[in-house]
Structures are given as structure tokens and as C-alpha cells.
A and B are shown apart, each in its own frame.
Chain A
Amino acid sequence: MSHQSPPSAGNQPTCMEMLQAILDGAATPEQETQFKEHMEGCMPCYKEYSLEMVIKELIKTKCCGQCAPPELVDRIKSSISEKAS
């Protein structure tokens, strides 16, 4: 089975579509299992999956460092207290 051909007959999504669904958090558990089984025998899919997952993980760990300054939190809370009172 080619990595770009449908994993089964009918209107099934292609491997790349399934990979995107997995990356986007939109794949069903069955689709994930099906893709992972397919990946075991398909090096292009395995490499693309590995690459995409590393990028996704790096974004998660390296791009979330901006915490709200405490002054901002205080300013919002006091504005709301004024409005509420």
C-alpha cells in the first residue's frame, strides 16, 4: 500500500488526511489505530508523522512561556470590583 493511497476501499480518507486529523486532534480512536498500524509498514508515513509530532510538541513546550504580569491581573480585578460595587 502506498502512503498516499487510501488505506481501504471506499470513501476512506487518505493517509495524509488521517495524519492531519490526528495532528488536529480530530481523528477517531479507530482512525488513529488504523493509521498507526499502516505506519508500521510505511516509512514515508512514519517519518512524516514523527516530524509533525515533534513540531507539535516543540510548539507546545517552547511557545507558551508568556504569563500574564501580576500587575495586569491586579488591574483587571480592581476594575471589575469597581464596576461591581
Chain B
Amino acid sequence: MDALEQEAPKQHYTDKQKQQVFDGEFMPHINAMYNFGYRLTFDEDDANDLVQDTYLKAFRFIESFQQGTNAKAWLFRILKNSFINDYRKKKKEPAKVDYQEVETFYNSEDVDRQITPDLRVESLQDMMGDEISNALNSLDVDFRTVIILCDLEGFKYDEMAKILDIPIGTVRSRLHRARNLLKEKLSEYAKKMGYKNHTL
């Protein structure tokens, strides 16, 4: 939790103020937090534990939070750290993105290519929600996370950089790669659905 404590000058809240901050600024994000926890772990019990742990940490370190600042980003950051430090270690999840590969990709000519010539708007519109959700879930956790933060939660580059503890350039390149991987996956689904003879 060092990072949390270092973030802002320590605030001094009365017990009543702490409760007000908690109820008024933290609790309104509980559904987004749970959805994030669930999409990281794919397990309701694990998501419950992760969210509960996050909220208890948030309360414990509430004096590191400055009232009126971005509570949602602060909470997402705690949850992400809990996921990496506690959950992943517990589950011994080995998956980790090769960041060098990501950077190499972004710096290559490939950045401008259109990689999904056989994916059409029409085929996407015919998909049920499951395919979209499954495609997102199939991405490596680091790619999945940036899509969730950007497209579902509407975080900006600088907020995502803080939540993930990575430079803004890496956020941008990871998002770019994640979108391409998602399209590749959707393209596979579309082919299975019988759109393989169509071209964009």
C-alpha cells in the first residue's frame, strides 16, 4: 500500500467525515468495481473477496484520499494492486504479457495496418452478447484490463496510467494491441458463424 500512502498529503478526517467519504464517494462505484473484479477473476467468490478487500483497504487508507478527487480511479488502482499482489500470487497465475513484444509492435510498421479484412459490421450486429463477452474474456489479463478501463469505464490515458502504474505511451500501445486482438477474436467467431466468404 506504499503507493497509496505516497500519493497525496495525508488528510485529517473525523470519524463522521470518514464515513461520509466512504458512503458518498466510494460506495457509488461498487457495481463498476464488482464488474472489474469479476472480469479479472471470472469467479463470483473471488470477485466478492477482491472487492471487499479493496473497500476495507480504501477505508484503512482513507486519509491518503483527498476528498473531491478521482475516487473511482483510486479504488480501481487498489483493486488492480490487490489482484496482482494477492490474488495472482494465491492462484499462482503465471500469465504475463511480454511488454517488449507490445512495444515492438507499436513501434513497427504494423501499427497502421488493418488486420481484420474479413470482419464486418453486419456480422458483429448478428452476434449475441456472449461472443463479445467471450472475446473480451479470452484476452490476456493486461489487454483485457485496458479495454475494460477505457471502453467500459471511460478512463482517460492519464488515469489508466496511474491505475496501472505504466507510462501513458504504454497505455496507448497496449490499447491499440488489445483492440486488434479483440478484432481477431471476433473475426474468428464471425467465420464460425458463416461470414467467411464476405470481405470488408
Chain A interface (Cβ < 8 Å from any Cβ of B):
4, 14, 16-17, 20, 23-26, 44, 47-48, 50-52, 54-56, 58-69, 72-73, 75-77, 79-80, 83-84
Q: Is A26 a contact partner of B120 (Cβ separation < 8 A)? A: no
Known: A69-B48, A72-B48. A51 touches B34 (CB 8 A): no
Task: Judge whether B34 and A68 touch: CB under 8 Å.
Answer: yes
Return A23 CB to nearest CB of chain B, in Å: 7
Name the residue of chain B whose CB is nearest to the CB of A43: B200
Main secondary structure of the interface of A (DSSP, over half): helix
Given A16-B112, A54-B124, A59:B30 Cβ within 8 A: no
Q: Contacts A51-B119, A51-B121, A54-B121 hold; do A66 and B38 have CB atoms under 8 A apart?
A: yes
Give B182 Cβ to nearest chain A Cβ, in Å: 7
B48 cross-chain contacts in A, Cβ below 8 A? 69, 72
Residues of chain A contacted by B76 (CB below 8 angstroms): none
B contact residues, total (Cβ < 8 Å): 51
Residues B136 and A59 in contact, CB atoms below 8 Å apart: yes
Q: Top 7 nearest A-B pairs by Cβ distance?
A: A62-B129, A68-B34, A66-B35, A66-B38, A68-B30, A62-B132, A16-B112
B120: chain A residues at CB < 8 Å are 51
B157 at the interface (CB under 8 A from A): yes
Q: Is B191 an interface residue when CB atoms closer than 8 A count as contact?
A: no
Partner of A24, one of B116, B121, B150: B150
Give B144's nearest chain A residue, CB to CB: A63
Q: Are A20 and B172 in contact (CB-based, < 8 A)?
A: yes
Given the known inter-chain contacts A63-B136, A69-B48, A76-B55, please indicate yes or no for A84 contacting B15, CB distance below 8 A.
yes
Taken together as a complex, chains A and B put the C-alpha atoms of A55 and B129 apart, in Å, by: 11
Residue contact B124 to A55, C-beta cutoff 8 Å: yes
The reply to whether A14 and B136 contact each other, CB–CB distance below 8 Å, is no
Contact A67-B121, Cβ < 8 Å, known A16-B111, A55-B186, A62-B132: no
B residues near A61, Cβ cutoff 8 Å:
129
Contact indicator A26/B52 (Cβ below 8 Å): no
- Cβ of A66 and Cβ of B18 under 8 Å apart? no
Q: Is the CB of B132 within 8 A of A76?
A: no
